[in-house]
Amino acid sequence: MSLLWIVLLLPLAGFFFLLFAPRDSKSPFFITLLATIVTFLFSLELIAPAIGNGAQFSSVIDPVWIHSPGLTIHFHLGVDGINLWLVLLTTLLLPIAVWASELMIKDRPKNFFALLLLFEFGLIGVFTALDLFVFYVFWEVALIPMYLMVGGWARARRGPVAVKFFVYTMLGSVFMLAAIIYLYTQTGSFDFVDIMNAVGSGHVLLSPTQQLLLFLGFFAAFAVKVPIFPLHTWLPDTYTNAPAPATFLLAAVMSKMGAYGLLRYSITIAPTGAHRCASWIIPLAIIGIIYGALLALIQPNIKRLIGYSSISHLGFVVLGIFTFSQQGADGAVYQMIAHGISTGALFLLAGYLEVRRGSMEIADFGGMATPAPGLATAFMIALFASIGLPSLCNFIGEYLVLQGAALTHFSWAVWAAIGVILSAAYMLWMYQRTFFGRARESVASLPDLSGRDWASVVPLILLMVWLGSYTQSFMPPISSATAHLLEQTSMNNEYRVKLAAPKPVQVAEVTNAR
Amino acid sequence: MLGNFQPHAGDYVRFLPEILLTAFGIVIMMLEAVSSEKNKLRLGVLSLIGIIAAFFANFWSYSESGPAFQNMIVVDGYGVFFRGLVLIVGFLCVLTSFSYLEREHAQSGEYYALILFSLVGQCVLATSSDLIMVFIGLEISSIATYVLAGFLRDDRRNNESALKYFLLGSFATAFLLYGIAWTYGLIGSTNLEEIRRVLDQGQRPTVLAGLAAGLMFVGFGFKVSIAPFQMWAPDVYQGAAAPVSAFMSTGPKAAAFAVFFRVFMTSFHAINGRWLWLVWGCALASMIIGNFAALVQSNVKRLLGYSSIAHAGYVLVALTAASQIGVAAAMFYLAAYAVMNIGAFAVVSHIAARNERHVKIDDLAGLGRREPATAALLAIFVFSLIGVPLTGGFFAKFYIFQAALNSHLVWLTVLGLVNSAIAAYYYLKIVVAIYMREPSPATEQLPAPSASFRVAIWASALGVLFLGIFPSAVLSFASASASALR
């Protein structure tokens, strides 16, 4: 049994196991925690083969799933430098979310834990899928538990918020489904590796118009998910009202689904379409960076503020991807991980604030540093990471993106840099109003982080420092995978004929599958 | 050849499911007269046995496949598939009816006999290869269903439902019959293969053949409730008893679609340029009207009624594709739709309480807290109706739109998919009610679910998940037997 099978199916097994657990006891928590921790430990084993394999996919599984005359679909999954860290981010953050949920979710905890496991199953599937059909399946599978978590445990306006979240995403993803089916009618395969091989060897030639349509189909789904301005309107409502662990996961990992999809599928399958559309996507990304930052500046609610800052930070990822440069792509992947950890930590700490005060309005706080110095310190570190202070994680990602943008088109970098400045402004201002000053009566007796709370925060802080100060541990597989990916984006575009003898794209290593 | 009307033994094997169903129906009618009030439930069990027997006879008939009774019916993979499907529908609906009829104090052998007779008609439809058999099958099925729609005769809504269904149904049948007469006058035969042969020769005026096809299209259109012939569906499904609505929206519909496809793909394929644009428009109109009207409904049965119009629209997309993949996709779709819709209606009939007082979306509120298992299964049905992956509804939709894109129907595909995203909005209202709201009075005083109801919804849910996760078996069978229509 391949390692990836274990990593994928453990959460699902935990889910089924949980269904039979008694409702009112601690056991659902322990089962979920155990399942997610074991999943994390197994996922660590994915690192070595992925690093050793360069740009090739490792830990591949590829059995036949659906077979009938005229339609064969393989359950093709694999790991390379781009999705490796995303999978690990998912498997690492899930136990933390479970740990925090035990404190933060008092109503029907068993149901919540079951949904968390289902969510993990869906996300690992999304990040590792190498077959477009399988990718779409997991894409929606990850959506359902998140929808139920947002709706079932939201603070206010449960139904409308969750439905908005779902219908927005669904409206985007049906276009992707149309594109996937269309691609199948053109290439006869759903398999990403096969499609890239067919394109690379010239068996399949997609015209610029076809590529444009395909690109727009995929883009609709991914742009909603990232979200790219002006499709972001679902985000503030969802982030603000969702229960803290769900917001944590939404911001930290689920927002990466869209960016990952853009990088992995949009620009490789339809590079001509991507190059053409970059001319308006990059302005949108830059508008998102600045617009998100400006709106964050005036938010009275901490969660909403972090939500808008998230739009701003993810604009960098999109910008990095559409520079089509090595630094830009590396920066985009690095920023995905960094943003996952720093924004995740901010939302987690916001959750702890919420548990203590019962509110997220900045006006309800003030002087929190006096009763809770530990919480204030942790928040400060996460905040500096998010702003992009050198030696913490976001700096690397944003710097690389800006460098990639500057090399391609200098003015892009200038505009995007405004976002960095603004992020310092809104974050520090929020911090000042929340934590500094004289402790108000209502917050004076609030408790500091307990040892139990620290346990969930410390790993994130360590990772912020590690990612920010020693990129060598993470960067090599990312670079080799993105280099390969950028090579693919130069195939199958209008200039394809000028290339001498395109190289065969990928030979998937199949470990005891089939 | 015409002189010899003596049927062969093989003919009876091919017709055995219908014979068994009829025999069980008659026996139940006779026992009804002599059984006491308490024993009526046993008649229901007897009808289940009859359906199971017919199901196995259906398998047997497949091993003997071929034409029977002078080409009046033909047993092929396609017919066997739909016969099996309507039998499963009948089985699940009978199971759902047990506790429903108990609650309404309407336990009666006639009910079960009527279901069996209706199934006979649908089985005939599934295998008919002659327009006369199409008409006979449609009438057997419809007349029994008209009575079922008004079965609770003291209930005003039941009466309204039955009358509407009857009047519009007869109207539709008249169109169909006129179309058949026209076809006979033009071709000189009512046999589907023969019609095809004559039309393929191209010596008949295609305008007239197109008109005949158009009249029959109207007739079938009413039966499967596609726009613009859909007005009756929401009223009828809302008014009839919930298990009957479950039955009407799946069984007769699947059988009518089966014969719809068979007639148009076999007989009128040669002139498909004359009717495809019509199907294209009706498919789009059905999806749009069904989905948009459903957006504002508060009654779950009515909502499902409108959604059934939209789903009929998706199936028509498969007919528009006019290909074997399209036929296979429609077969798969109808199977998936049957299990998910019956499941949803079954839960509604469980919630409804006596006299169906509680059939609003609001009445479902808090079901997730009261009955987690029922709520979870309802959520599965609803997600399948939306078309979320790993459920039958998704794969069915996926396969239909794949067929459509294969036939270069890009616009219809895109508009259909956008429609399915819009549909998510009203289906989600159900999920919001069951999981995101506090219990309503209806769910507070919910009686414990009966065993038969539980079997029905668990079986439906397993069907939905099986079709979504392991579609290969059904899909292979559908693809293999779709070639029968060429």
Averaged pLDDT, groups of 10, chain A, 514 residues long: 86 90 82 91 87 80 85 89 90 92 84 92 93 93 90 78 87 91 88 85 82 91 88 86 89 90 89 87 91 90 89 90 88 91 91 85 82 88 89 88 87 88 89 84 81 89 90 85 82 43 46 40
Q: How many Å apart are CA B112 and CA B94, to the nearest integer?
A: 7
* Maximum average pLDDT range among B66-70, B254-258, B348-352: B254-258
CB A5 within 8 A of CB A75: no
Mutate to test the interface with B, among A170, A184, A214, A224 (most CBs of B within 10 A): A170
B402/A184 touch (CB, cutoff 8 Å), yes or no: yes
Q: How many Å apart are CA A369 and CA A377, to the nearest integer?
A: 8
DSSP one-letter string for A240-309: HHS-HHHHHHIIIIIHHHHHHHIIIIIHHHSHHHHHHHHHHHHHHHHHHHHHHHHHHHT-SBHHHHHHHH
What pLDDT was estimated at residue A498? Answer: 38
From chain B, the residues in CB contact with A162 under 8 A are 428, 432, 436
What pLDDT was estimated at residue A491? Answer: 58
Instruction: Report the mean per-residue pLDDT for chain B.
Output: 90
DSSP state of B71: T
Structure tokens at A382: 């996460």
* pLDDT of residue B83 exceeding 90: yes
Pairing of strands A58-61, A77-79: antiparallel
Nearest to A337 by CA among A478, A514, A483, A512: A478
Interface of A with B (CB under 8 A): 66-71, 108, 111, 136-141, 143-144, 148, 151-152, 154, 158-159, 162-163, 166-167, 170-171, 173-175, 177-178, 181-182, 184-185
Nearest to A169 by CA among A128, A126, A208: A126
The CA R_g of chain B, rounded to the nearest whole Å, is: 21
**A513 Cα to chain B: minimum distance (Å):** 19
Mutate to test the interface with B, among A16, A19, A65, A71 (most CBs of B within 10 A): A71
At A26, the amino acid letter reads K
Q: Could you report the predicted ipTM of this complex, rounded to two decimals?
A: 0.91
Structure tokens at B430: 């159900």
Element (H, E) at A61: strand A58-61
Across the interface, which of A66, A139, A152 has its CB nearest the CB of B472? A66
Structure tokens at B234: 């929401």
From chain B, the residues in CB contact with A151 under 8 A are 431-432, 435-436
Tell the burial category of B19 from Cβ atoms under 10 Å away from its Cβ (0-12, 13-18, 19+).
Answer: middle
What pLDDT was estimated at residue A244? Answer: 87
Mutate to test the interface with B, among A163, A176, A190 (most CBs of B within 10 A): A163
A167/B428 touch (CB, cutoff 8 Å), yes or no: yes
Element (H, E) at A73: strand A71-74
Q: Tell me: the pLDDT tens digits for B262-304? A: 999 888 888 877 788 889 999 999 999 999 999 999 999 999 9
Q: In this complex, is the C-beta atom of B417 within 8 Å of any C-beta atom belonging to chain A?
A: yes
Q: How many Å apart are CA A307 and CA A296, to the nearest integer?
A: 8
Q: In this complex, is the C-beta atom of B373 within 8 Å of any C-beta atom belonging to chain A?
A: no
Tell the burial category of A512 from Cβ atoms under 10 Å away from its Cβ (0-12, 13-18, 19+).
Answer: exposed
**A176 Cα to chain B: minimum distance (Å):** 10
Q: Tell me: the pLDDT tens digits for B20-58? A: 999 999 999 999 888 887 788 888 999 999 999 999 999
B428/A178 touch (CB, cutoff 8 Å), yes or no: no
Q: How many Å apart are CA A496 and CA A486, to the nearest integer?
A: 14
**A372 Cα to chain B: minimum distance (Å):** 34
DSSP state of A374: H
What pLDDT was estimated at residue A510? Answer: 42
Nearest to B121 by CA among B132, B106, B136, B105: B136
Q: Tell me: the pLDDT tens digits for B163-175? A: 999 999 998 999 9
Q: How many helices (H) and strands (E) does chain B have?
A: 21, 2
Q: How many Å apart are CA A318 and CA A289, to the nearest integer?
A: 10
A141/B390 touch (CB, cutoff 8 Å), yes or no: yes
Interface of B with A in 387-416 (CB under 8 A): 388-390, 394, 398-399, 401-402, 405-406, 410, 413-414
Interface A-B, measured as beta-carbon pairs within 8 A, has a size of 100
Q: How many Å apart are CA A223 and CA A196, to the nearest integer?
A: 23
What pTM was estimated for this model as a whole?
A: 0.92
What pLDDT was estimated at residue A492? Answer: 45
What pLDDT was estimated at residue B123? Answer: 95
Q: In this complex, is the C-beta atom of B432 within 8 Å of any C-beta atom belonging to chain A?
A: yes
What pLDDT was estimated at residue B4? Answer: 65
What pLDDT was estimated at residue A89? Answer: 92
pLDDT band at B2 (very low <50, low <70, confident <90, very high): low
Q: Tell me: the pLDDT tens digits for B178-207? A: 999 999 999 888 998 889 888 888 777 888
The mean pLDDT value for B142-165 works out to 90
B405/A182 touch (CB, cutoff 8 Å), yes or no: yes
At B318, the amino acid letter reads A
From chain A, the residues in CB contact with B394 under 8 A are 137, 140
B436/A154 touch (CB, cutoff 8 Å), yes or no: yes
What pLDDT was estimated at residue A1? Answer: 59
Across the interface, which of A69, A158, A178 has its CB nearest the CB of B479? A69
What pLDDT was estimated at residue A495? Answer: 40
A68/B431 touch (CB, cutoff 8 Å), yes or no: no
A152/B418 touch (CB, cutoff 8 Å), yes or no: no
Across the interface, which of A69, A137, A184 has its CB nearest the CB of B389? A137
DSSP state of A494: T
CB A416 within 8 A of CB A402: yes
